[in-house]
C-alpha cells in the first residue's frame, strides 16, 4: 500500500471513530499544523494559567515610565504618549512559518498586564503564583514598584471615588455581579464601516484629523465666546489620536524591517525568504493604507485588534470576517487567482490561530467565569447585507473549513441564519457542529434585526450589519451604532433575585443586607405578594449595576480616554470627542442576566408546593434553605421532581418565565443609559454557573450552595428537560424574542449517533427550520458523547483537543474544571 492511500485509510478510520482532532491534524497543511502546535495557550485551566505562561514586564515598564515622564500633560495626551512609547520600543518577534505578525507581548508566552486598569487587579497579579518571570524575586520587586505607583490612580480607583459608597460595597462583595465599571476592561465595539471597507486606513484618517485640528485652531484664535471653549479639549483629543495612529504605522514598519533583516541575514530557506519579504510588504502597506489583498486585509484586522489591546483590556473580539474580508478573498482566489484556495485557507486558519494566541492577565473571577479562554472572540458569519440580500460568500465557507482544520476554542463563530442561506453553507455549518467544535452558534437574523430596531432604534440598514459585540449581543459596527465599551459590570447574578426575595434582601453567603427589605415571606398571604418581592429585588439589582456603568461611561472621557479607539471611530474623528463619550453613541446597552432560569423554576416550585398545594409552609422552606437542604433530602427531591420545570412545554412554569421576562422588559425601558436608550436583559452564563456555585445559597428549585447553577440563558436545568427537544423549543418559543429581551441563549446537547451521515444532516436541518419558524433567536449544540467526555476526564493527555460548547463560548474540555465538565455531561442528550 502506498503512503497516500494509507493516509486516506487512517483518516477514514478516525472519521468512523469521530476522532475529529486527529482528522484535522492529518488534513491540514504542514505550515498550519506547525503554527497550530506552536501556539501558547493563554486561556486558564479551570482558574489557573498554564505552566510557562508569564506576565510580560516590558509593557508595564515602558508604559509607566512614559506616563510618569509626561506628568504635566492632559490625561489623554499622557495615555497617547505612553502607548506610542510602548509601540516604538516593545520587543517584537515573528513566529517561524507565520505569514501574519503582531502580538501584545514581547514574547509569545507572555500575557499583557493592564497596569492602569485597577489597583485591585494589580494586587491580585502580584499575588498570583507561577506567572512571574524568573528570577521571580526580581520580577516581584518590579511589580511592587509599579503597583505602588499606580495605587489610587487607576481607572477603577478613580471611578470608585465617585461611586455611591453603598453601591460600591455591594458591587465589590462579588455576590451580585462582576466586571469593572471602566473602559479599561470590557467588550469594545468597533466602527468597521469606517476603517474596514477599503475606503480609508490610518494615513487617510490622519489627514482628516489634521484638517479638523486646523479648523479647530482657526476657531480658537477667533472671536471669544462659549462656542469655542470645547475646541481646546477636542484639539487635545485629535492630537492624541494622531499621535497614536502614527505610532501604529511605525509599529507595523518595525515588523517590515524585522522581516527583511531575518530574510537577508539569517534565513537560509528560499521559500521562507519569499514569505518574509511578503510580510515586509504587507506591514508597509497596512495599517497605513487600505489593504490590497486578502493577506493585507487579515493583517490589517489583526493589527487593529492587537493595537486596541495595547490601550485597554478588550475581553471580546467583535468581527464579521466573511463580510469584510470576503471581497479580497473573492478577488485573490476567484478573479485574479493570486493565491489558491488552499493557500487562502492556510491564511484564514493562521488568522484564527493568531487570535487564539492573544491573552492578557485577568483576575480570578474572570478566569473562572471564562474557563479555557481569554475572552469571548465570537466572530459573526453569514447574515444579510444592508439591502437585505444574502451576505454569505466563498469566504464564509472557507472560514468554516479552516475552523475544522485548526480546531481552536477561541475564536468561535456565531452564524446569522436567514431563509436564503444556501444548502452548501448549511452543510458546512453542520459539519463544524458534527465534528464537535460546539460552534457556530445559530442566530436568527430576521428576529435579531427586528430586536436591534426595537430596543435601540437602530435604522434597518445599520441593524442588518450587526455583529456579536461579545458572546451574544448584536451591535451594528457603524458610526452611531457601535458601542465603544460594554462594561461587564452590568452583569447580574440573577439567582440572587429569588434568594433575596426569600430572605428579605439579606444575603446569608456574604452576610450583609444587600437588596431592599421586601418583606418577610412567611407573612405573605399569596403568590402575588411573593412575586411582588421578586420584582422589587429585580429592580434593585438591575438599578445598582446599571448605575455603576452609567457613571463610568459618563466619566471615562476623563478617567480612561481611548485615543486609539477614537482614531478608528468616525464619530470621534469627526467630533473631536473621545470614543468612550456617550455623545453620539446611540446606545447599545444590555444587562447580561446570569443564572436566570433558577428564578423561574424556584418561583414555580414556591407557587406549586407552598401556595397552590400547601404541602409545605414558607417557614419550612426557609428553614430547609438556611440549612442548605441538609437533613431535608426528601423535601428537596419533592421540590425538584414534583414542581413544574422550565423547558417541558408546561404552561404552569412557562407563564412564570414570561411574567418575569416582561417585568424585566418593562423595567428595561425605565432605566436608561447615558445616551437615553434602554437596558434590555440578555440571559446567558458563560461559565459563571460554576463561578457562582459557592456564592448563591440554596434555592427552591432544589439546588444547594455549592451545586453548579443551570448552564444559562433560557436553557433548561441539566436533566430537567424530560420531554424532548420539541418541548424545549416550544417553551422557548413562548418568549417574544424581539420584545422580551435582547437575546436568549439556548444550549442543546445532541446524540453523535443521530448526527451521523446524510440522515443526521437532514434531521438537524429540519430542527433548525422548526427553531427558525418558532422565532427563537439562538441555539448552540454540543455533539460529543458521554463516552468521549468521560474518557477525556480519565486520560486528558489523549483528548487534549476535544472541544465543548460551555455557554456563549467554546473551550477545550480538558481546560475546564471537573465541576464544569460534569455539568456539561449532565446536560440532557436530546434526540430528534
Partner 1 sequence: MKCINCQYEDESKNFRYLYNARIDSSISMRQCPKCLSTIAVDELTFEVQQVVGPGEAPWGKSAGVESLADDYQKAA
Q: Give the residue with the Cβ less far from partner 1, 139 or 793.
A: 793
Q: Give the residue with the Cβ less far from partner 1, 319 or 783.
A: 783
Q: Give the residue with the Cβ less far from partner 1, 718 or 741.
A: 718
436 lies in the site for partner 1, by CB under 8 A:
no
Query: Which cell is 182 given?
Result: 471602566
Which residues, including other chains, have CB under 8 Å from residue 261's CB and lie 6 or more apart?
A: none
Site for partner 1, residues 620 to 649, rule: CB under 8 A: 628, 630, 633-634, 636-637, 640-641
Q: Please, what is the minimum distance in Å from the beta carbon of residue 717 to partner 1?
A: 6
Q: Please, what is the minimum distance in Å from the beta carbon of residue 769 to partner 1?
A: 20
- SS3 at position 414: strand
Q: Give the residue with the Cβ less far from partner 1, 97 or 827.
A: 827
Residue bearing cell 495626551 = 77
- Name the segment binding partner 1 (CB under 8 A); options: 245-253, 365-373, 430-438, 752-760: 752-760
13 lies in the site for partner 1, by CB under 8 A:
no
16 lies in the site for partner 1, by CB under 8 A:
no
718 lies in the site for partner 1, by CB under 8 A:
yes
Q: Please, what is the minimum distance in Å from the beta carbon of residue 649 to partner 1?
A: 16
717 lies in the site for partner 1, by CB under 8 A:
yes
Query: Which cell is 634 given?
Result: 426528601
219 lies in the site for partner 1, by CB under 8 A:
no
**b/e burial code for range 520-555 (CB count within 10 A of at least 16 → b):** ebeebeebeebbebbbbbbbbbbebbbbbbbbbbbb
706 lies in the site for partner 1, by CB under 8 A:
yes
Question: Residue 516 burial (CB < 10 Å; 0-12/13-18/19+)?
Answer: middle
Alpha helices in 569-712 (DSSP H): 570-575, 597-605, 618-626, 633-641, 651-668, 688-691
**Which one of residues 147, 281, 785, 800 is an interface residue with partner 1 (CB under 8 A)?**
785
Contact code string over 439-478 relative to partner 1, x by CB under 8 A: ----------------------------------------
Q: Give the residue with the Cβ less far from partner 1, 578 or 721.
A: 721
826 lies in the site for partner 1, by CB under 8 A:
yes
Query: Which cell is 253 given?
Result: 514598519
What is the distance between the alpha carbons of residues 749 and 754, in angstroms, rounded to a whole number? Answer: 11
Site for partner 1, residues 754 to 783, rule: CB under 8 A: 754
Q: Please, what is the minimum distance in Å from the beta carbon of residue 784 to partner 1?
A: 10
Q: Please, what is the minimum distance in Å from the beta carbon of residue 647 to partner 1?
A: 11
Instruction: From residue 480, give the alpha-carbon distance in Å to each of 186, 396, 462.
Output: 19, 27, 9
Task: Decide the pairing of beta strands 829-830 and 747-750.
Answer: parallel
- Name the segment binding partner 1 (CB under 8 A); options: 117-125, 137-145, 377-385, 819-827: 819-827
Side-chain-side CA neighbours of residue 456 (13 Å) = 31
Q: Give the residue with the Cβ less far from partner 1, 385 or 641.
A: 641
96 lies in the site for partner 1, by CB under 8 A:
no
**Which one of residues 708, 806, 807, 816 is an interface residue with partner 1 (CB under 8 A)?**
708
- SS3 at position 812: strand
830 lies in the site for partner 1, by CB under 8 A:
yes
Q: Give the residue with the Cβ less far from partner 1, 292 or 704.
A: 704
Q: Please, what is the minimum distance in Å from the beta carbon of residue 707 to partner 1?
A: 5
383 lies in the site for partner 1, by CB under 8 A:
no
Number of residues in contact with partner 1 under rule CB under 8 A: 49
CB 120 within 8 A of CB 369: no
Output 632-639 pairs: Cβ under 8 A, ≥24 positions apart. Answer: 636/702, 636/704, 637/702, 638/609, 639/605, 639/609, 639/700, 639/701, 639/702
Output 825-828 pairs: Cβ under 8 A, ≥24 positions apart. Answer: 825/786, 825/789, 825/790, 826/718, 826/719, 827/711, 827/718, 827/719, 827/747, 827/749, 827/782, 828/716, 828/718, 828/719, 828/720, 828/721, 828/722, 828/749
739 lies in the site for partner 1, by CB under 8 A:
no
Q: Give the residue with the Cβ less far from partner 1, 586 or 632.
A: 632
Q: Please, what is the minimum distance in Å from the beta carbon of residue 785 to partner 1?
A: 5
- Name the segment binding partner 1 (CB under 8 A); options: 98-106, 172-180, 547-555, 719-727: 719-727
Question: Residue 93 burial (CB < 10 Å; 0-12/13-18/19+)?
Answer: middle
- Kind and range of the H or E element at 513? strand 512-513
What is the distance between the alpha carbons of residues 719 and 721, in angstroms, rounded to a whole number? Answer: 6
**Which one of residues 60, 414, 474, 702 is an interface residue with partner 1 (CB under 8 A)?**
702
**Which one of residues 91, 389, 753, 762 is an interface residue with partner 1 (CB under 8 A)?**
753
**Which one of residues 94, 593, 720, 738 is an interface residue with partner 1 (CB under 8 A)?**
720
798 lies in the site for partner 1, by CB under 8 A:
no
CB 414 within 8 A of CB 786: no
How big, in percent rounded to 5, are the helix, strand and coil portions of the chain?
55, 10, 40
Residues near partner 1 (CB under 8 A):
628, 630, 633-634, 636-637, 640-641, 693, 701-708, 717-722, 724, 749, 751-754, 785-788, 790-796, 819, 822, 825-831
Amino acid at each position: 500500500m502506498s503512503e497516500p492511500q494509507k493516509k486516506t485509510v487512517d483518516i477514514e478510520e478516525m472519521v468512523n471513530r469521530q476522532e475529529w482532532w486527529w482528522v484535522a491534524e492529518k488534513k491540514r497543511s504542514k505550515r498550519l499544523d506547525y503554527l497550530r502546535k506552536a501556539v501558547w495557550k493563554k486561556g486558564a485551566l479551570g482558574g489557573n494559567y498554564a505552566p510557562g505562561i508569564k506576565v510580560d514586564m516590558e509593557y508595564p515598564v515602558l508604559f509607566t515610565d512614559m506616563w510618569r515622564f509626561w506628568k504635566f500633560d492632559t490625561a489623554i495626551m499622557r495615555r497617547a504618549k505612553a502607548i506610542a512609547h510602548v509601540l516604538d520600543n516593545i520587543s517584537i518577534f515573528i513566529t517561524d512559518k507565520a505569514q501574519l505578525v503582531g502580538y501584545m507581548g514581547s514574547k509569545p508566552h507572555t500575557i499583557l498586564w493592564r497596569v492602569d486598569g485597577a489597583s485591585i487587579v494589580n494586587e491580585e497579579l502580584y499575588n498570583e503564583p507561577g506567572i512571574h518571570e524568573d528570577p521571580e524575586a526580581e520580577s516581584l520587586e518590579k511589580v511592587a514598584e509599579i503597583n505602588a505607583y499606580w495605587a489610587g490612580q487607576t481607572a477603577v480607583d478613580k471611578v470608585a471615588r465617585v461611586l455611591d459608597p453603598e453601591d460600591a460595597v455591594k458591587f465589590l462583595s462579588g455576590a451580585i455581579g462582576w466586571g469593572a465599571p471602566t473602559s479599561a476592561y470590557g467588550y469594545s465595539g468597533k466602527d468597521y464601516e469606517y476603517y474596514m471597507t477599503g475606503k480609508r486606513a490610518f494615513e487617510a484618517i490622519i489627514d482628516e484629523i489634521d484638517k479638523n485640528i486646523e479648523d479647530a485652531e482657526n476657531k480658537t484664535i477667533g472671536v471669544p465666546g462659549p462656542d469655542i471653549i470645547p475646541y481646546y479639549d477636542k484639539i487635545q483629543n485629535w492630537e492624541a489620536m494622531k499621535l497614536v495612529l502614527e505610532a501604529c504605522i511605525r509599529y507595523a514598519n518595525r515588523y517590515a524591517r524585522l522581516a527583511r533583516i531575518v530574510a537577508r541575514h539569517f534565513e537560509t530557506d528560499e521559500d521562507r525568504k519569499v514569505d518574509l519579504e511578503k510580510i515586509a510588504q504587507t506591514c508597509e502597506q497596512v495599517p497605513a493604507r487600505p489593504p490590497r489583498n486578502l493577506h493585507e486585509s487579515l493583517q490589517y484586522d489583526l493589527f487593529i485588534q492587537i493595537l486596541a489591546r495595547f490601550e485597554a483590556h478588550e475581553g471580546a473580539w467583535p468581527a464579521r470576517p466573511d463580510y469584510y474580508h470576503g471581497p479580497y478573498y473573492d478577488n485573490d482566489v476567484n478573479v485574479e487567482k493570486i493565491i489558491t484556495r488552499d493557500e487562502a485557507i492556510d491564511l484564514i486558519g493562521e488568522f484564527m490561530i493568531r487570535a487564539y494566541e492573544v491573552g492578557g492577565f485577568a483576575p480570578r473571577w474572570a478566569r473562572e467565569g471564562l474557563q479555557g479562554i481569554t475572552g469571548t472572540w465570537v466572530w459573526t458569519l453569514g447574515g444579510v447585507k444592508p439591502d437585505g440580500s444574502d451576505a454569505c460568500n466563498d469566504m464564509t465557507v472557507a472560514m468554516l473549513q479552516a475552523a475544522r482544520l485548526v480546531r481552536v476554542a477561541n475564536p468561535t463563530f456565531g452564524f446569522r441564519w436567514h431563509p436564503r442561506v444556501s444548502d452548501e453553507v448549511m452543510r458546512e455549518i453542520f459539519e463544524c457542529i458534527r465534528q464537535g467544535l460546539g460552534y457556530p452558534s445559530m442566530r436568527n437574523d430576521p428576529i435579531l434585526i427586528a430586536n436591534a430596531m426595537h430596543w435601540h432604534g437602530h435604522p434597518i440598514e445599520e441593524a442588518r450589519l450587526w455583529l456579536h459585540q461579545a458572546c451574544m449581543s448584536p451591535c451594528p459596527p457603524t458610526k452611531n451604532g457601535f458601542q465603544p465599551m460594554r462594561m461587564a459590570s452590568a452583569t447580574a447574578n440573577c439567582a440572587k433575585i429569588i434568594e433575596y426575595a426569600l430572605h428579605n434582601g439579606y444575603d446569608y453567603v456574604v452576610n450583609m443586607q444587600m437588596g431592599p427589605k421586601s418583606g418577610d415571606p412567611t407573612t405573605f398571604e399569596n403568590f402575588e405578594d411573593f412575586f411582588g418581592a421578586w420584582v422589587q429585588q429585580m429592580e434593585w439589582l438591575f438599578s445598582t449595576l446599571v448605575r455603576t456603568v452609567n457613571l463610568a461611561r459618563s466619566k471615562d472621557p476623563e478617567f480612561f480616554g481611548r485615543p486609539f479607539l477614537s482614531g478608528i471611530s468616525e464619530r470621534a474623528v469627526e467630533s473631536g470627542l473621545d470614543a468612550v463619550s456617550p455623545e453620539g453613541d446611540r446606545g447599545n446597552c444590555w444587562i447580561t442576566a446570569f443564572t436566570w432560569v433558577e428564578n423561574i423554576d424556584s418561583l414555580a416550585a414556591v407557587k406549586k408546593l407552598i401556595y397552590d398545594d400547601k404541602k409545605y409552609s414558607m417557614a419550612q422552606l426557609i428553614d430547609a434553605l438556611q440549612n442548605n437542604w441538609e437533613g431535608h433530602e426528601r423535601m428537596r427531591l419533592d421540590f425538584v421532581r414534583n414542581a413544574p420545570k422550565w423547558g417541558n412545554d408546561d404552561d404552569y412554569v412557562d407563564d412564570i418565565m414570561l411574567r418575569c421576562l416582561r417585568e424585566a422588559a418593562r423595567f428595561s425601558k425605565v432605566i436608561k443609559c447615558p445616551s437615553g436608550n434602554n437596558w434590555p436583559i440578555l440571559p446567558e452564563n458563560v461559565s459563571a454557573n460554576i463561578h457562582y456555585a459557592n456564592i448563591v445559597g440554596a434555592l427552591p428549585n432544589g439546588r444547594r450552595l455549592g451545586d453548579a447553577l443551570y448552564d444559562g440563558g433560557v436553557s433548561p436545568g441539566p436533566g430537567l428537560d424530560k420531554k424532548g427537544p420539541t418541548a424545549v423549543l416550544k417553551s422557548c418559543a413562548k418568549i417574544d424574542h424581539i420584545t422580551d429581551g435582547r437575546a436568549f441563549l439556548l444550549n442543546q446537547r445532541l446524540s453523535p449517533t443521530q448526527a451521523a451521515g446524510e440522515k443526521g444532516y437532514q434531521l438537524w436541518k429540519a430542527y433548525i427550520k422548526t427553531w427558525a419558524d418558532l422565532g427563537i433567536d439562538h441555539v448552540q449544540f454540543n455533539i460529543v458523547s458521554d463516552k468521549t467526555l468521560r474518557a477525556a476526564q480519565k486520560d486528558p493527555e489523549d483528548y487534549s483537543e476535544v472541544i465543548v460548547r460551555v455557554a456563549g463560548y467554546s473551550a477545550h474540555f480538558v481546560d475546564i474544571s471537573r465541576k464544569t465538565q460534569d455539568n456539561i455531561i449532565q446536560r440532557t442528550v436530546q434526540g430528534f
